[in-house]
Structure 1
Amino acid sequence: MKIACLGWGSLIWKPENLPVAWDWKADGPHLPIEFTRISDGGELATVISLNATPVPILWAWLDTDRLDVACEALRRREGITEERCDGIGSLLIHNAPGGMLNDWARERDIDALIWTDLPPRSEDTEGRVPSITEAILYLDGLSGETREHARDYMQRVPAQIDTTYRRAIMHALGWD
């Protein structure tokens, strides 16, 4: 089984123990990604956000042919607890109905896809998308190492993840 991982954030530059076989490819499918998850590290992380404009994401082949091993490696890399089975998304291409993601994978001879599937999160609510204003105020309120980490994250996310929030935040905070 040929398995690929989709990525759009720190997984690209810091895969850690995820068994990435080769470099990340920039010709991924277009998904609605936005900087709408306040993460445990303080940064405003990128996640699938259904109201966002789709952007081209990245993908990489994984050096395993077992979907369970790939999902477990991604779960561990992302620090998602075993109890939270909804934090990793996967799709077996031959069993999936037609659709953009399935068609994209079939064109590349991919048998299965995995991705991080954590929801947006505001300061106080899992699943709630912070507004652009709330996101800017949150990041502007950070200080010291946490603020530097948040700025570094936003600047390191690949440029093709060109989102509405990213442009507004970078401009408002002078991070461009």
Structure 2
Amino acid sequence: MRIACLGWGSLIWKSGVLPVEGEWHKDGPPVPIEFSRISDGGELATAICINADPVPALWAWLTVDDLATACELLKAREAIPAQRSDGIGSLIVTDRPAGALAKWAHDRHIDAVIWTALPPCCDKIESRTPSLEAALAYLDSLTGETREHAKDYICRVPAQIDTTYRRAIVESLGWTD
């Protein structure tokens, strides 16, 4: 089984235990992504955000051929607790793909696709998306190493993850690579 992983954040430059084979490809499917998850490290991380405009995700082949193992390795890389069942998304493609993601995978001879499916998070409340104003105020309030880490994150996310919040962050804070 050929398994691919979708990515749009730090997974691209820091795959950790996830066995990525080769480079990340830029022709991924459109996914509604936004800088909408205040993470433990203080950065405003990318997450699937249902109301966001879709942007092309990146994708990479994995060197494992077992979907359960691939999902466990992605959970380990993302530090998702074992008891949390909603942190990883997956799709197995058949000979008759249905939907845009299945067709995209089928066209690339991908048998299964996995991705991190953590929701937005604001004020330590999962599934709460910060408003654009709140996101900018949050980032602007950061100081020291936390601010540098948050800026580094924004700058390292691939340019094709061109979102409304990112454009506002660049305009307001000047955070560009």
For Structure 1 versus Structure 2, the TM-score category normalised by the shorter chain is over 0.9
1-side partners of 2:154 and 2:59: how far apart?
Answer: 19
Q: Determine the structure 2 residue equivalent to 1:59.
A: 59
Tell me the secondary structure at the aligned position of residue 24 of structure 1.
Answer: strand
Residue 10 to residue 110, structure 1, CA distance change in 2 (3 Å):
same
Deviation of 1:53 after TM superposition, in Å, equals 0.5
Moved over 3 A (4+): none
**Normalization by structure 2: what TM-score?**
0.97
Long gaps (5+) in structure 1: none
What do residues 64-94 of structure 1 show as CA deviations (whole Å, max 9, x unaligned)?
1000110011000000000101101111112
1-side partners of 2:153 and 2:134: how far apart?
Answer: 18
Tell me the secondary structure at the aligned position of residue 165 of structure 1.
Answer: helix
Number of residue equivalences = 176
Tell me the secondary structure at the aligned position of residue 122 of structure 2.
Answer: coil
Q: Determine the structure 2 residue equivalent to 1:93.
A: 93
2-side partners of 1:95 and 1:143: how far apart?
Answer: 52
**Normalization by structure 1: what TM-score?**
0.97
What do residues 112-166 of structure 1 show as CA deviations (whole Å, max 9, x unaligned)?
0000000000123111010000000011111000000000000000000000000
2-side partners of 1:96 and 1:43: how far apart?
Answer: 40
Long gaps (5+) in structure 2: none
Residue 84 to residue 103, structure 1, CA distance change in 2 (3 Å):
same
2-side partners of 1:170 and 1:124: how far apart?
Answer: 25
Q: Determine the structure 2 residue equivalent to 1:21.
A: 21
CA contact (8 A) 2:97 2:103 kept: no
Tell me the secondary structure at the aligned position of residue 85 of structure 1.
Answer: coil
Q: Determine the structure 2 residue equivalent to 1:41.
A: 41
Q: Determine the structure 2 residue equivalent to 1:125.
A: 125
Deviation of 1:32 after TM superposition, in Å, equals 0.5
Q: Determine the structure 1 residue equivalent to 2:148.
A: 148
- Sequence identity, in percent? 63
